[in-house]
Amino acid sequence: MGDEPRPGDHVRGDRGEVVIVQADFTCPWCALAHARLSEWERERPLRRVFRHLALTAKHPRAVALACAAEAAARQGAFWAFHDAVYADQGRIDEPHLWALAQRLGLDLERFEADRRDPAVLAHVQGQTKEAVLAGAMTTPTFLRDGKPDQALYHELVRNREDAKTRSATERGSEGTRTL
Amino acid sequence: MTDLIEPGTPAPELSLRTEDDDVFTRDSLLGQTTVLVFYPFAFSPVCTDQLQVYEQVSDEFAKRGAKLYGVSTDATWSQKAFREKLGVAIPQLSDFEPKGATSRALGTYFEPGGMTNRAIVIFGPDAVVTWSYVADSPGDLPGANLILDALDAR
């Protein structure tokens, strides 16, 4: 077991394969994985579970955005916030967050208070530490049976990107041929 | 290439340069549990992930009385810049001159690449190796859980 959503998890979809993603909101690989999982959602039944893997040292805005996502969740807008941030990785600073909160129809004052709530920070840090202690070494990390699943990471993220790079290289080596 | 040093083996003589221009020797291992984290190159993207993830659970290493060090063949100045860029506190030890001498003695040097392998060596307070690990490939990052499990198994 270990692949069932837990209380407190953010879950999208009510049937199908469970994919647990440990991610942060400022990581390009996470955004890429999100795009691919969104395709999967359109193709098949899928239950997506999101948990935080927000490394303070790795991405300066990671923890702030994770807390903002939890604040949005308190107003029922976690997934709307999640999708919007991954769709626009160039706008993740404070004014952008306020604009996003307004666009999502959130109570801005409550959003501001909630994302600074120490309980929210403790939740984000707790999930991050749990992920690292289970062996997570990159963002995003997918879980299968409670352990990091590198095969899914490669399927969703790296293979796709490597294929793109190979394709570009092949195009380059073949002069002006267009595909 | 020498084999990776095995558990139960006393530490050989070491000579690694610290950021303070001091020398980290075999005697520096005495009195505390030491975890040497060997990484191939400062500023390589994969190494960046590794130390930042370990930093995230530094309290767990402290709780087990273990002191972590990053080790590579980069010069001290490069390592310092790397550490500062990462925003981590894990001290760095340089195996720059003679290049890789300590890493060779511990079996953590990768000859064809002229670099340290991605390896981890844990020494007990008596300077005897309690656990050692080398990754199958430099791209494989050993999880923090592996180190913590090894520390718990002492």
What angle, rounded to 10 degrees, do the helices at B45-56 and A118-133 form? Answer: 120
Domains defined along chain B, listed by start: 16-152 (3.40.30.10)
pLDDT tens for B74-92 read: 999 999 999 999 889 999 9
Torsion of CA A23, B83, A130, A132, to 10 degrees: 80
Q: What is the DSSP string of B15-80?
A: -EEETTS-EE-GGGGTTSEEEEEE-S-TT-HHHHHHHHHHHHTHHHHHHTTEEEEEEESS-HHHHH
Q: Is A178 contained in some domain?
A: no
Please tell me which of the candidates B53, B60, B88 has its beta carbon nearest to residue A137.
B53
Q: What is the pLDDT of residue A33?
A: 92
What confidence tier does B114 reach under pLDDT thresholds 50, 70, 90? Answer: confident
Residue A60 lies in a domain: yes
Q: Do A135 and B144 touch (CB under 8 A)?
A: yes
Whether the CB of A150 is below 8 Å from some CB of chain B: the reply is no
Two tokens, residue B42: 């400062």
Q: Do A136 and B48 touch (CB under 8 A)?
A: no
Strand ranges for chain A from DSSP E: 10-12, 17-23, 46-52, 141-144, 147-148
User: What is the rounded distance in angstroms from the CA atom of residue A131 to the CA atom of residue A141?
Assistant: 8
- Evaluate if residue B150 carries a pLDDT over 60: yes
Tens-place pLDDT, residues B35-89: 999 999 998 866 567 999 999 999 999 999 999 999 999 999 999 999 999 889 9
Tell if the CB–CB gap between B56 and A128 is shorter than 8 Å. Answer: yes
Residue A1 located in a structural domain: no
What ipTM was assigned to the predicted interfaces of this complex?
0.86
How many other CB atoms sit within 10 Å of the CB of residue A107? Answer: 13
Q: How many CB pairs under 8 A join A and B?
A: 47
Cα(B130)–Cα(B96) distance, integer angstroms: 25
Asked whether residue A4 is domain-assigned, the answer is no
pLDDT at A99 (0 to 100): 95
CATH number at residue A52: 3.40.30.10
- The pLDDT tens digits of the residues spanning B25-34 come to 999 999 999 9
Q: Residue A115 domain-assigned?
A: yes
Question: For chain A, what is the domain count?
Answer: 1
Q: Is residue A101 one of the residues assigned to a domain?
A: yes
Q: A5-46, pLDDT tens digit by residue?
A: 898 899 999 998 899 999 999 998 899 999 999 999 999 999
Q: Which residues of chain A have pLDDT under 50?
A: 1, 170-179
**Residue B37 distance to chain A (closest CA, Å):** 14
Structural domain boundaries, residue A151:
10-173
Of B52, B142, B143, nearest to A57 by CB-CB distance is B52
Q: Give the nearest partner residue to A132 out of B57, B87, B88, using CB atoms.
A: B57
pTM of the complete model = 0.86
Q: Evaluate whether residue A3 is within a structural domain.
A: no
Contact indicator for B90, B69 with CB cutoff of 8 Å: yes
